[in-house]
Amino acid sequence: MPIGWLIGIGAAGFALAMGIALALTPLVKKFAVKVGAMDVPDHRKVHTQIMPRMGGLAIYAAFTVTILLFLPWLPDSMLSSYDKNLIMGMLVGGTVIVLLGAMDDRFQLNAKLKFLVQIAAACIVVFGYDIKINLVNIPFGSAMQPMADWIGIPLTIFWIVGVTNAINLIDGLDGLAAGVSGIAIATILVMAAIMGQGSVILLSAVLLGGIVGFLHYNFHPAKIFMGDSGSLFLGFALANLSMLGFKQITIVSFVVPILIIGVPLSDTFFAIIRRLVNKKPIFAPDKGHLHHRLQQLGFSHRKTVLIIYGIAAFFGACAVILSIATSAGMGNWVTFIVICVLIFLLQIGAEVIGIVDKTRRPVINFLRGMFLRQQANTRSK
């Protein structure tokens, strides 16, 4: 199928979803106020006014309505049985996730219950629609090997639940989770266009349209929050698209989906390390996340969000470059180099902003020591 036709379908889906989100968000805001789904400020939160949440319902509705309107008109050549399973898995599992998030936005559900429902939604995708990791590639080798279900199924469920919660954790500033998710979805859209994956182009474009429409009301100063209904749904959708949108996952190409959602995953990773270092429970909330630290360094609300957008875009660009390199047969070495550079930059960045500890800077101190010794040697000569 011509790529131009696929892009045209994606553009139409984007426009329709954006229009629906723009129209529905004010109605969702009124509904949230009516049912009492309000976000009350506390010592951990940045906002100072009571705000309606549940805005994720507008994104979900825009995505679902648009996909259901387009599906009957899509040619069979565009949708394989895998594509149909992927779409239905996202719709059915996404509905469960959105209902969970909406209930939590209103009633503040127990964390264990939320976790169990998230696992159930992931199981719908895996067992109901046979979407799972099933291929593996040994690094610096070319042979694809089937992965046993006893490994692939738990790994798939772990990925879906983990990414779903990672997006939820960064939802701390106006427009932050929506914007970072939008950048990740845009990255997937570019990669899908390069690879000619029609179903992924449509799904990504429609989801991006819903996000952009909602961001009109959610960017600082926000008029409505997306709440768990939005952050959990976006995380669930990202988990499916980033991991399974390209038919197969390999150990080498597994780096690509990690890069696509590098900001929420790295923030979650550093949060776990920070709590272990400070001898606090792993799931205990704190004000040490990336957006908190940037604001503590003096950046405004809007500048903090834009800086994190830039970081997310950098991760996305690396994912696209790595995907292209893999297609060209250079994936192994390029992957190795990209991983090494990113780990170094992440560690330096974490030490500069103090996301783990404000006083411990081992790598920066080591580099500073090397520089001072070099200067001393130069003077002695």
Residues annotated within a binding site for Mg(2+): 168, 228
**First CA to last CA across the chain, in angstroms?**
68
**How is residue 155 written in tokens?**
């790994």
Q: In 3D, which of 210, 213, 208, 222 has the Cα closest to residue 176? A: 222
Residue 150 has a CB neighbour count (10 Å cut-off) of 8
What is the DSSP secondary structure assignment for residue 71, as one 8-state letter? G
CA distances from 361 to 358, 365, 366 (A): 8, 6, 8
Q: In 3D, which of 17, 8, 3, 307 has the Cα closest to residue 185? A: 17
- Amino acid at site 24: L
CA–CA distance, 4 with 16 (Å, rounded to integer): 18
CA–CA distance, 114 with 117 (Å, rounded to integer): 5
Q: Specify binding-site residues.
A: 168, 228
List the beta bridge partners of residue 145: 136
C-alpha Rg value of the chain to the nearest Å:
21
75 preceded by a cis bond (ω within 30 of 0): no
Residue 54 has a CB neighbour count (10 Å cut-off) of 28
Classify burial at 17, counting beta carbons within 10 Å of its beta carbon; exposed 0-12, middle 13-18, buried 19 or more.
buried
Distance of CA 134 to the CA centre of its chain: 22
Residue-by-residue DSSP string for 199-246: HHHHHHHHHHHHHHHHHHHHSSSPSS--HHHHHHHHHHHHHHHHHHTT
